Amino acid sequence: MVLHSDTDKKEVLNMIRKGEIVLGGNKRLKIYGTLGCASGKRMKRENRVFFKSDTEARKMGFRPCGHCMKEAYKQWKDGFVQL
């Protein structure tokens, strides 16, 4: 997990290009989703975290976003947990 508040914009973009970051999340709400999600783009920088994988996010106790990850969210809501 990478905290957005601990990195600058250039470093974040470089990590995205390298594939070290593929998902973003809200550390207060414990929700993660795609980097292009409209809900994720509205969150405050100090609440934003980044993940390399879905597995990493779930192991940290985050749940999928209901907007950009509808299928994963449905599985999570129905109690199906895949780590």
Domain ranges of the chain: 2-77
pLDDT bracket for residue 83 (50, 70, 90): low
pLDDT single digits (tens) 28-73:
999 999 999 998 889 999 999 999 999 999 999 999 999 999 999 9
Which residues lie below 8 Å from residue 55, measured CB to CB, with a gap of 6+?
83
Pick the CATH number of 2-77 from 3.10.180.10, 1.20.210.10, 3.40.10.10, 3.30.2350.10: 3.40.10.10
pTM, entire model: 0.88
β 31-34/63-64 pair status:
parallel
Say how many C-beta atoms besides its own lie within 10 A of residue 44's C-beta.
10
List helix spans (H) across 1-83.
Answer: 9-18, 38-41, 54-59, 70-77
